[in-house]
Amino acid sequence: MYSEGASSVAVIDRQRPIWLVCLLTFLTSGVYYLWWFGASWAELKRERHDPNMSPFWHALTQLVPIYSWFRIHAHYRVLNELLQQQRASHSIEPGLMVAVVVVADVAGPLSMAFAEPLPSLIWPLSLAALIFRVAYGQAALNAYYAAKHGRLAAKRVTAGEWVALGVIALAWLLSIVLVVLIASLAASSDWWSLSAPSSPATTYQAPSYPSYPPPSGSQAAPLVASTVPPSAAVSFSTVLFRDDFSNVSSGWAAACDPPDLWQGGYASGEFRVVKLAGTGVAPGPCHPRRFRDFQVEVDAALVPPTAGAYAWIEVRQQAQHAGDRSRAASYAFSVQPDARVYTLSRLHYGTRTVLAERAGVSEIRPSSAINRIGVRAVGPELTLLVNGVAVDRVTDATFAEGMLAFGVGHILDHAAEGRFRNLVVTSVR
């Protein structure tokens, strides 16, 4: 740190190496930025001799949406003013830094409306913007110290910084080892194996009632035997989206069905969907984020009485239709626990086509037991999942990407209620 005493020899203010601040920001996934923002403000406070500058509260402003933009401008404006006072050749643009931050902050929410891989790219791009922010400011601070003393101050790493680097690097190494170990265990076992039912494939004749309320113009495709090959392996890479429904602002909207025709919402770590009797709809929420190739699974449990009730999940939904089935466009996978029946339907703007249907599925748990239902969508291929087992596979190229939705229904349009938990969307390859 800079200080002057009786001696004419000045102790030069330490310059942090740019590589150090960039590396610490990266290894801590941006947490170091908060420390740097406060620490550099403390240095600016000392240089300006301003007791009203509070490094602690200044750093915490970065956690406040929108207001943080004003504090970022103030931070880089003060730094630029000090550079000008020293007549340094180096200068910075506070407005440029604010523009970078605004774009990074706004891009995240906007990306939710687009299909993968755009949403998955936002985090690394945001981290890159954060690293640029730190490097830009530290380079200016180093230039100020150099101009102030008429020569370059030594760029050195303190003992505490070396310790922090070592601890963080060790944590990263242990994390990598743990991931490799889990991947090795998974590859050598049947944890992630999806296999077809062991019983001989048979052709199932559809019952007289629909497993999903059909709009006018419904038609059924010929039902064929399951085409799932034995031990069809699935390779997972990244969790794209996870929701335990503890955050009421996670994005599930009721607009996919008329809100006055059903009840429910977020409730203590689950999402509750209540279908009202005689409404003619199988209601549930949808999410605006769009996915192309992915696997989605969610825990679904019906609330007694469960006779005739079913839970469903929709994938590649094209738009919110507010209950207007003439605008519905998606793939709907429904599971009726008491009858142990599943159905995959294609909803295409007023026309419902049954793509797959089977009864007596042993993987479906009856009554109010929890069933983990899901769909794996890769190109035109849709794999139906029940409690970790692939029960069917269908090829249909009508919809290539879209939103997600889930809910409950009843084959006789009676009341029904379901609870949904632990929704996970994973990329597949």
The pLDDT score that the predictor gives to residue 237 is 66
- In angstroms, rounded to a whole number, what is the distance separating the alpha carbons of residues 402 and 315? 7
Residue 309 C-alpha from the chain's centroid: 30
Question: Which is it for the CA torsion 145, 149, 153, 159, positive or negative?
Answer: negative
pLDDT digits (tens, 9 = 90+) for 116-142: 566 667 778 888 889 999 999 999 998
The pLDDT score that the predictor gives to residue 154 is 62
Residue 16 C-alpha from the chain's centroid: 35
pLDDT band at 407 (very low <50, low <70, confident <90, very high): very high
Specify the residue for token string 């026309």. Answer: 351
The pLDDT score that the predictor gives to residue 365 is 95
pLDDT digits (tens, 9 = 90+) for 72-91: 999 999 999 999 998 888 88
- In angstroms, rounded to a whole number, what is the distance separating the alpha carbons of residues 341 and 373? 12
Considering only 212-226, 228-242, 245-259, which range has the smallest mean pLDDT?
212-226
- In angstroms, rounded to a whole number, what is the distance separating the alpha carbons of residues 105 and 107? 6
In this structure, how many other beta carbons lie within 10 angstroms of the beta carbon of residue 272? 17
- In angstroms, rounded to a whole number, what is the distance separating the alpha carbons of residues 260 and 378? 35
The pLDDT score that the predictor gives to residue 382 is 96
Residue partners of 176: CB distance under 8 A and separation at least 6: none
The pLDDT score that the predictor gives to residue 257 is 76
Taking 90 as the threshold, does the pLDDT of residue 182 lie above it?
Answer: no
Cα 129 to Cα 77, 94, 307: the distances in Å are: 19, 15, 54
Residue 59: is it exposed, middle or buried by C-beta count within 10 angstroms (0-12/13-18/19+)? buried
The pLDDT score that the predictor gives to residue 230 is 39
- 401-420 mean pLDDT: 94
- In angstroms, rounded to a whole number, what is the distance separating the alpha carbons of residues 325 and 19? 57
Phi, psi of 101 (to 5 degrees): -65, -45
Residue 391 C-alpha from the chain's centroid: 27
| Reported pTM | 0.51
Taking 80 as the threshold, does the pLDDT of residue 195 lie above it?
Answer: no
Could you tell me if 72 and 102 are in contact, meaning their C-beta atoms sit under 8 angstroms apart?
no
pLDDT digits (tens, 9 = 90+) for 240-254: 999 999 998 898 987
The pLDDT score that the predictor gives to residue 186 is 58
Residue 92 C-alpha from the chain's centroid: 35
Taking 60 as the threshold, does the pLDDT of residue 221 lie above it?
Answer: no
Q: Which of 37, 5, 16, 39 is nearest to 153 (CA)?
A: 16
